[in-house]
Amino acid sequence: MARRNGRRRYPEEVRLVRVRPHDERTRKGGKGRLVRLGVFLAVFFLSAACLGKVCSVLIGQCVNAFAPQEEAEPGEEKLPEEMLGEPVGVNPDDVVMLSQEEHGPRIAIDAGHGGEDDGCHRNGVSESEVNLELALLLEEKLQTLGFETVMLREDHESFLSLEERVKKAEDEDADIYVSIHQNACEEDEEEIDGIETWYYTGMQEGRRLAQLVHNGAVGKTGATDRGARETDELYVLKETSMPACLIETSFLSNSRERQAITSPEYQKKLIEGIAQGIDYYFYPKTMYLTFDDGPSEKNTAAVLDILKERGIEATFFVVGENVKKHPEVARRIVREGHTLGIHCYSHDYKDVDSYLEDFQKAYDLVYEVTGVEVELFRFPGGSINAYNKKVYKDIIQAMTEKGFIYFDWNASLEDATKNTTPQMLVQNGVSSTLGRKTVVMLAHDVVYDTTQCLRELIDSLPEYEMKPLTAEVEPIQF
Separation CA 315–CA 289 (nearest Å): 6
Pairing of strands 244-251, 195-200: antiparallel
pLDDT in tens, 316-327: 999 999 999 999
| DSSP assignment of 10-47 | PPSS-----SS-HHHHHHTTHHHHHHHHHHHHHHHHHH
> Is the sign of the CA dihedral 155, 160, 162, 166 positive or negative?
negative
Torsion angle in degrees (nearest 10) through CA of 77, 83, 86, 88: 150
Separation CA 222–CA 435 (nearest Å): 17
Report residue 326 CA to chain centroid gap. 31
The helix or strand, by DSSP H or E, that contains position 114, with its residue range, turns out to be none
In 3D, which of 283, 280, 285, 290 has the Cα closest to residue 468?
290
Q: What is the pLDDT of residue 255?
A: 95
pLDDT in tens, 209-245: 999 999 999 999 999 999 999 999 999 999 999 999 9
Separation CA 142–CA 356 (nearest Å): 54
Band of pLDDT at residue 349, cut at 50, 70 and 90: confident
**Least confident stretch, 154-158, 346-350, 432-436, 443-447:** 346-350
Helix (H, G, I), strand (E, B) or coil at 229: strand
Separation CA 317–CA 340 (nearest Å): 6
The pTM of the full predicted model, rounded to 2 decimals, is 0.76
| DSSP assignment of 379-413 | -TT-SS-TTTTTTHHHHHHHHHHTT-EE---SEE-
Q: Classify residue 104 as left (phi > 0), alpha (psi -120 to 50) or beta.
A: beta
Instruction: Indicate if the pLDDT at residue 417 is higher than 50.
Output: yes
Q: What is the pLDDT of residue 266?
A: 98
For the segment 6-26, the average pLDDT, to the nearest whole number, is 37
pLDDT in tens, 137-174: 999 999 999 999 999 999 999 999 999 999 999 999 99
Separation CA 384–CA 382 (nearest Å): 6
